[in-house]
Amino acid sequence: MKKINKKKIQFGIAFFSIILVISPTLANDCTWIPADIYGETFETQLLTKMSNLHVTSLAFSVLNGTEVFYSRGFGEQNGTDIAYHLNSACKMFTATAILQLYEQGLLDLEDDFNDYMPYVLKNPFYPNTTMTIKQLLSHRSSTMGSWHGFDDYWPSLNNGTCTFPSVIYEFLHENGTYYVEDNWENFEPGTSFLYSDVGMDILTLILENITSTPFDNYCQENIFSPLGMTNTRFSVEDYSPEELAIGYDWNTTTGTNDIMSYYNNSGNPGGGGYFSTADDMSKYMLAHLNQGEYNGVSILNATTIELMHTEVDYSKLGLGWWVRETFGLLKDYQGHPGGPHNGFYCANYMRYSLGVVLLLNQGVGAYSEFEDLYEYIFYFANKLLEDKCTTEANFYLIPLIASFGFMVCIITIRKKKKN
């Protein structure tokens, strides 16, 4: 019988035992390695893209499943707790609020929205066609796309004679001061898509009429406070100067960044109001990633979230929520952007279990350029996720290999004893 080399066997057992003990620690330590591996290259390229877009401040968060696993700011104001104007991204809040009323049985999506209005609005080109709540949420109601298209909107807003909700009556009701038939689109409600700030503000008025609660108060009590979104507010006056990002519009004539006055939200609360931070928007998007729930709090049930995320008539839109968006080679993003407009841009999207919130302070530029920046950050997020998954896989794989090696040692010993 061949003599057993006990020292080799003991060394093998000791080696694999050490691997079993330290492999979880190795795996956990590797979780944050991607920030170091990609940090310099990523940061260099990101700062270049910011410079090309004349962006001076930016914050983003990467979401995976139920957690924020990477969050960072860049530029002059680099905190993830700095507030940026959301522009159209707040349409998600409006839709969420209306769908909460739907869950409570206070309205039905197929109802004529005039059933909940203090007065009746009719499209003069199709006065006998019903306009529904669902059509407003999915931008198919035939309301005008933007208040900016009305000749008298800005003068009436700036002099205080026509703020929300009076702006809806004055421009859209046949007896309104600024009413003309062309304030409505000439297509039958429900038959075509037209992205509409105006429709979202009608939903805001409907919510206030049903709940007898100002829109901002309702959102604070039923969306922001439950989710812990403590820095999401309606008015610039609710912030101290150091809490707000400075918004810029690039002036192509002078080649300089012009500081923009903060947007007057009073005329367009449901379609383009609100300021928020990367930290706060992460909480809202995590709720959408988890069937309406974040940190044990539900803002919508799973069935309603699915309804909100379901495409309506091949429009790439759900209910106040974009679906089937494409950035570069990746498809099927869901969420909502805001801007670029009046000093700010934001993008809040998720794809499967991964999400990215991006806020920045530039309001002028080709939309495709902002999409390119968002795509680059989402690519970085995917790399982080890949490495995290690899690390988690190693957490189980390394002990498995070690266990296998340990078993081989035992079997070898037994065979040699038999011989």
Per residue in 183-204, pLDDT (tens digit) is 999 999 999 999 999 999 999 9
Residue in the structure block whose two tokens are 């039923």: 222
**Domain locations along the chain:** 1-54+370-419, 55-60+84-363
Is-contact 179 234, C-beta < 8 A? no
Residue 305 has pLDDT above 60, yes or no: yes
pLDDT digits (tens, 9 = 90+) for 382-416: 887 776 655 444 444 445 555 555 555 555 555 55
Cα–Cα distance between 360 and 368 in angstroms, integer? 15
Residue 1: exposure state from Cβ atoms within 10 A (0-12, 13-18, ≥19): exposed
Highest mean pLDDT among 204-208, 233-237, 351-355 belongs to 204-208
Cα–Cα distance between 272 and 90 in angstroms, integer? 6
Is-contact 284 227, C-beta < 8 A? yes
Q: What is the pTM of this model?
A: 0.83
Cα–Cα distance between 171 and 143 in angstroms, integer? 11
Residue 208 has pLDDT above 90, yes or no: yes
Answer CATH for 55-60+84-363 from 2.60.40.3880, 3.40.50.2300, 3.40.710.10, 2.30.30.100:
3.40.710.10
Residue in the structure block whose two tokens are 């003309």: 180
Mean pLDDT score, 118-131: 97
